[in-house]
Amino acid sequence: MITIGIEGTAHSIGIGIVEDKDGSCKVLSNMIKTYRPEKGGIHPREAANHHVAHVADLINEALKTADISSQDIDLVAFSQGPGLGPCLRTAATAARALSLKLERPIIGVNHCVAHLEIGRGMIPDCTDPVLLYTSGANTQVIAFAEGKYRVFGETLDIGIGNCLDKFGRALGLPFPSGPKIEQYAKQGERYLELPYSVKGMDIAFSGLLTAALQYHTKHKRLEDICYSLQETAFAALTEITERAMAHTEKQQVLLGGGVAANQRLRDMVSLMAEDRGAEFFVPEKSVCVDNGAMIAWLGFIMYQSGVRMELKDTIINQRFRTDQVKVSWRD
């Protein structure tokens, strides 16, 4: 069965085409186009206009790369939430139009759950992980427990990616700033004290961001600030992930989201897993970031488990919570 997935929760519009191969996910194509504001943060309506302008071409490109025709598609999936309203509506509208035109079923999926399921779908040994999902807007620790995907810990203010990007923007670093901060951090020599905010299994970054910016105002070495920022934030993320693993008694940890590209974060979480005798997994980068393939894959496993949606069920949900999803494909 071939599924097309349309991702459009924030600044990227992604089209992925996947095929089911004996229960695991084969990505046939996965195209992404990202809206980059000239300056400042993203404006939801402008990001949505960007998605409108590119979605049709991207679908054609994805079909071409996958070397299939639109008639080969069996199912249309899209990101139903959480995310920015205008962006979500654009992806949903494109999905509805495609579903009607091709006369194929449509499934709306939860973006956060898709980050976890793509790991399970693409890494055969990864069956029941705790997911540390770290992206721009999101920072959550998610695991399956008692019939649902539950959020065991999350950010109380901004996502870790936003924290890095805001720090970078204030210093005039290019957007997204995560990769640049990682490079500077490698040259860090001195740890500068920063606030460490873990509250139970939750986490906060704004105090850390403010303190890091203050070091910059005081002309501390940029490399040392970046190093200290990473060490502090990633240690906190690793700690809440470990707590969720201990609490759920799970023996696997999976990374997802754009910040999972960071080698220092990978090293810290992988060391923690090793200490616990647990397995560590990270999917390839193209499916870690926001992408259409993960949306397609979750749509497929939902459909396969019997989920069906009418057009009236495809209304977007900006605040779609991870634990609102009825998980019919696992027990």
Which spans of this chain sit near Fe ion (rule: CB under 5 A)? 135, 290
Give which of 35, 1, 33 is closest to 17, Cα–Cα.
1
Binding mask 106-145 for ligand ATP (x = CB under 6 A): -----------------------------xxxx-------
Least distance to ligand ATP from the beta carbon of 82, Å?
A: 8
Distances (CA, A) of 304 to 108, 326, 331: 14, 14, 14
Binding mask 258-277 for ligand ATP (x = CB under 6 A): xx-xx---------------
Q: Does 62 bind ligand ATP (CB under 6 A)?
A: no
Binding mask 157-176 for ligand ATP (x = CB under 6 A): --x-x--xx----------x
Whole-number Å distance between alpha carbons of 63 and 30: 10
Q: Which is nearer to ligand ATP, 75 or 295 (CB)?
A: 295
Strand (E) or helix (H) holding 21: strand 12-21
In 10 A of CB 114, how many CB atoms? 29
Q: Which is nearer to Fe ion, 251 or 286 (CB)?
A: 286
Give which of 324, 287, 254 is closest to 108, Cα–Cα.
324
Whole-number Å distance between alpha carbons of 111 and 120: 15
Count of residues interacting with ligand ATP (CB under 6 A)? 24
Q: Which of ligand ATP, Fe ion, none sits in contact with 261, Cβ below 5 to 8 A by type?
A: ligand ATP
Paired tokens of 326: 């009825």
Whole-number Å distance between alpha carbons of 308 and 191: 53
Q: What is the contact surface with ligand ATP in residues (CB under 6 A)? A: 9-12, 135-138, 159, 161, 164-165, 176-179, 182, 257-259, 261-262, 289-290
